[in-house]
Each structure stands twice: as structure tokens, then as C-alpha cells.
Structure 1
Amino acid sequence: MKNIFIATDFSEASLNAAKYAVALAGHFNSTIFLFNAYQTPVSIPESYIFFTVEQVGEEVMMLLEKEEKIISRYGMVPIEKCMAEGNPVNTILSEATKRKADLIVCGMKGSGKILKRIFGSTATDLARQTNIPLIIVPENTPFHLPDNIAFASDNKTIPGVQNILTLKQIGTQFNSKLSVVSVADDGANDSFEFREKFTDFIEALQSMKPSLEALEGSDIPAVLEKYIKDHAVNLIVLIPHEHGFLSGIFGGSITKHMSFLSDVPVLILPEKRDEA
């Protein structure tokens, strides 16, 4: 994992995510790109305030320098500051691609009843649109070695081996234990079928000694939350896609009980990654 790209908006949530990213980078000797996507404010007629692009850029650089000083205490890794004007999500993904980022890290703001109150709209849209692995870090969660990882599956989308490089790198570096957790309605979770579907995935991650957990229950968020708490999971892995309960998470339809998402970092693995 050579390059880790931090998307910051200078909030407390972003600062915490940046600390997490630097601590993680220290274990991989990665280069950090500390990035802000800014938009030039429009003039305000009532007060006759107007900011030029140059003024905004200067202010952003000052904030990047301030944040760099803080996060550099969390790991001895090179940090490059960068910024660009534009829509946050599009600009983050474009600039991360230009810098050959292996991982994007951003912050998660607080907790709430729907995903946008938990993740914030930028993180939510990044999770939906990214073609680069993404870690979303809760605002008040410090860095812990990700040595107990749960991959949450809806038993519909099976991750391809090419999509799991980041997960494998983390698992190898931290000697992590991996649980593959599927949740379905009572009586609908066939453990044999589940194992058959995940054969290639399990074989590719043998070094993590993965276990398969076929759980049953009609309240999927509640079942997941109980499992995560009972097993002290410190990294959740999700693949968002167009159909299935994970798309519900990212569409907000079943998030009212997803309070655990405000406590544990989430690794988003894109279904497809563009070829370099």
C-alpha cells in the first residue's frame, strides 16, 4: 500500500480520520496525500464580501499546513499537501486517481438515524461512487490495530479476488482474523450454499484464517450490530452495490438501527476498480 489519500474538510471528524490514516500508513511505510477539495464562495451582496480563487487557495494551504503539523505526530511518514477546486466527490476521486492512491480515508460525522447524519453526504457519495478502496472513520474512534475484521455479506454480491487486495494487505500486516458474516431472514441462510459461493474468496484470504458466519434474523441491522459488539470487531468491510441490503445501507432505507456504523471504521471495497 504505497499511497494513502486523505480527504479532509478540516472538521474534527476529518482530523480524526487523518490521524487514523497516518497511524495506518506508518505500518506500511506509505506516502500520505493530505487533500482538500474547495469551492470558491460566491459574493455576499449584503456585506460586499468577495473571495478570489487565490485568497481561498491561500487559506486552504494554511489549514493544510496546520493539519499536517498535528497529524505528523501520529506516524513518521512523508506527507504531501494538495488541493483542487471543484465538487468534493468528483474532485477527490479524480485527484486520488491522479496520485495512484491505493486507499482513500475520510471522516464520519457523529451519529444519527439516517446514513447522511452518520457519514455525511460526501462520505456517503464517495462510498457509492469510488473505484478505489475507501476507509470511513468515525469521528470519535481512535486508531486500533485492525486485527478483528468482519466482512458483511448479503450473500448476493460475491467479491472478486481482484477486489480484495487492500483487505489482504491489511490482514497480512496486522495478522488479522476475518469473519465473513451473512445475514438472512430466519430459515433462508443456507450455510452450505454460503460456503460454496465464497470458495474463491476464502481461498484467496487463507492467511487470515477466515470463518463463515451464517446468521439469521429479520432485523438485519440489529443482527449485525449484535455480532460486531459481541465479537469486538474493529473494522467492517462492505461492498455497496445496486441491489441487496448493502445498497439499503447506502440508500438510507434500513439505517435507522445502524448505530454501530458510528463506532467502527468501515472499509468500502468497490465492485470494480478501473485499470491503471
Structure 2
Amino acid sequence: MNSILVATDFSNPSRGAAAYAAALAKLNGATLTLLHAYLLPTPVSEVPYVMVSVEELQKDNEKLVKEMAEGLENQYDIKVNTLVTIGLPADEVVFQAGEIGADLVVTGMRGVTNTLDKLIGSTTAAIMRKSSVPVLVVPEQSVYAPWKQVVYATDFSYTMNLRCLKMLKVLSGNQPDMHMKIVYVQRPGEIMSAEQIAGKVRLDPMLETIPHSYLDLEHVSVEESLKQYLHDHPTDVLVMVAHKHSWWERLFSRSHTREMVYQSEIPLLVLQDK
């Protein structure tokens, strides 16, 4: 892994995500880039107000990003690049990730308590949906520690592509004590299809260099089952694959399932297979 891009809005969740990304960058010898994207203020009433120039906004934001970068450089002894752009945050993150050749995008997340939190969460959801590179969502208060227990949730309905597999191997290669639990949740009475059985058979040799084991769970709700398992079994990272028209996409298209992401207390690594 050569390059990590971190989206920041200077909030506590994004600062925590930047610190987590800095630890990963140091571990993997990767370049870290902080990106702040902002929109120009728009009048919402006829009440007069002082309009700040684009130049002033740019300068102020560049100062804040620079200060943040210097703090990370001093703490983690790494080089941190900075980018400040005007535009919709999710779109800018996806665009700039392509421009700099980022291997991983990192963004923060906090639990939903009000409308503002839902807005912030929607930006993270948009990044996950639009990105063509893996996205690591880091919940507020998460502090990096070596990955020992990783859960990969799948229904085996697809075969992981080489790009996803490469990222998993890179991350696991620098986490020597990592073990991946491959979790499949089936509804009561459900039987795996021929396609799912074939997917599981194809997956196993692909993961031969990654210590792993399998666990089948039974529950009427996939997301509730995962939440319960993660609650009962200390886990460092949850891994899912975003595959076009896949179980993952159907799962996260429902609003109550997105709450699992908002409320997650562990990082979520979304591998892009689309």
C-alpha cells in the first residue's frame, strides 16, 4: 500500500480517523494525504451579512489542514500531504483519490443523535457508494491497535476479485497476529444455493495466506445477527465487500441497516468489487 487519503472536516470523528490512518500509514510505509473539501456559504435570508471571499476561506482552511498535518507528522514521524478543494465532500474525496492514486480512503463516523449527524453520516455513505478504492470508516473514539480479530461478513454469492484480495493480503501481511473469521448469516430454514456453495469453494484457496476460519449463524435478520456477534466477540475490524447488485448493496440500501454503520464501535473496511 503506497497511498492513503483521509477526508477531514476538522470534527472530532475526522481527527480520530486521521490519527488511525496515520498509524496505518506508518505501519505500511504509505504516504498520507489529508483532504478537506468545503462549499461556499450561501445566503439563506435577506438579512445582510459579511461575505467572506473565496481566497480567505481557502487560506483559512489551508491553515487548519496544515496545523493538523504537522500534528500528525510530529506524533507518528511520517510525512503528511494536504489538499484543500471546493466542492461536495463525497465527490471530491472520490475524485482526489483517483488523482493521487490512493489505495485506501479513510473517513470518520459518529453515532446518529440528530439531523446534523445524519447529514454527516450521509457523506460517509456516499463515499462508500461512489468510491472505486477501499474505504475504511473509523467510528469516533476508535484508536488504532494491531488487528488481531477481523470479521469478514459475506453470503458467498460472488467471488472476491484480485484487487480486493490484494488489499486484504497487504493489510494482513503487516498484522502478523491477525485472524479472519468469515461469517455467513442464513435465515432459519434457508439452504445455501449452488452459487453460494461454489463461491465458498472458490474463496478458500484465495485466502490461503491469511489465517482464517468459517462461522455460520442463523437469524431472521442479517444485520441484527452481525451486531449481536460483534457485541459478544471482541473484534478489531469488520470487513464487507461492495459488489454491484450484491447482498452487500441490498443490505445497505435499507435505512435500518445503515444504522449499523452509524452505531458501529469498530472500524468498517469496505472493499470495492464493482
Q: TM-score, normalised by structure 2?
A: 0.89
Instruction: Report the counterpart of residue 167 of structure 2 in structure 1.
Output: 166
1:225 to 218, 227, 241: 227
Q: 1:266 aligns with which of 262, 265, 268?
A: 268
Q: Which runs of 5+ in 1 are unaligned?
A: none
Matched position secondary structure for 1:183: strand
Amino acid at match of 1:80: N
Runs of 4 or more above 3 Å deviation? 111-114, 116-119, 189-196, 241-245
CA deviations on 1:129-160 (whole Å, 9 max, x unpaired) are 11011100001111121221111113323322
Q: Aligned to 2:6, what secondary structure does the other structure show? A: strand
CA separation of 1:22 and 1:226: change in aligned 2, threshold 3 A: same
Q: Secondary structure at the match of 1:25?
A: helix
Matched, 1:83 2:81: no
Worse-matched range after superposition: 43-52 or 175-184: 43-52
Deviates more, 1:135-144 or 1:39-48: 39-48
Greater mean deviation of Cα atoms: 259-268 or 209-218: 259-268
Structure 1 equivalent of residue 65 of structure 2: 64
- The alpha-carbon deviation at position 195 of structure 1 amounts to 5.2
Amino acid at match of 2:154: S
1:42 aligns with: 42
Aligned mates of 1:179, 1:192 — CA distance in 2: 22
Provide closer, same or farther for how the CA distance between residues 76 and 198 of structure 1 changes in structure 2, counting only shifts above 3 A: farther
Distance in 2 between residues matched to 1:205 and 1:119, nearest whole Å? 35
Structure-2 separation of matches of 1:64 and 1:218: 46
**RMSD, matched Cα:** 2.6
What is the alpha-carbon distance in structure 2 between the residues aligned to residue 260 and residue 43 of structure 1?
Answer: 31
Corresponding residue of 2:148: 147
- Percent of residue pairs identical: 26
Determine the C-alpha separation between the residues in 2 that align with 1:81 and 1:138. Answer: 22
* Runs (5+) with no aligned partner, structure 2: none
| C-alpha deviation, 1:110, in angstroms | 2.0
Which residue does 2:207 correspond to in 1? 205
Paired with 2:129 and 2:261, the residues of 1 have a C-alpha distance of 19
Q: Are the equivalent residues in 2 in contact too, given 1:108–1:123 (CA < 8 A)?
A: yes
SS in 1 for 2:183: strand
- Count matched residues: 271
Residue 237 (structure 1) aligned with residue 239 (structure 2): yes
Find the counterpart in structure 2 of residue 188 from structure 1.
190
Which amino acid letter does the alignment assign opposite residue 61 of structure 1? E
Q: TM-score, normalization: structure 1?
A: 0.88
Secondary structure (helix, strand or coil) at the match of 2:106 reads strand
Partner of 1:9: 9
Conservation of the 8 A alpha-carbon contact between 1:222 and 1:257: no
Counterpart of 2:219, as a letter, is G
1:91 CA drift (Å): 1.1
The 1:130/1:21 distance shift into structure 2, 3 A limit, reads same
Q: 1:25 to 1:259 in 2, by over 3 A?
A: closer
Question: Does the aligned pair in 2 maintain the 1:43–1:50 contact within 8 Å?
Answer: no
Q: Whole-Å Cα distance in 2 between the matches of residues 214 and 260 of structure 1?
A: 25
Deviations 1:162-217 (A, max 9, x none): 32211111111102111111111013244997553123332222122221222111
SS of structure 1 residue aligned to 2:93? helix
Query: Counterparts of 2:20 and 2:228 in 1: how far apart (Å)?
Result: 25
Shift in Å, 1:77: 1.4
Equivalent residue, structure 2, for 1:98? 99
* Letter matched to residue 15 of structure 2: L
Secondary structure at the counterpart of residue 145 of structure 2: coil
Q: Are 1:23 and 1:74, in contact at CA under 8 Å, matched by a contact in 2? A: no
Question: What is the rounded CA distance, in whole Å, between the counterparts of 1:174 and 1:104 in structure 2?
Answer: 19
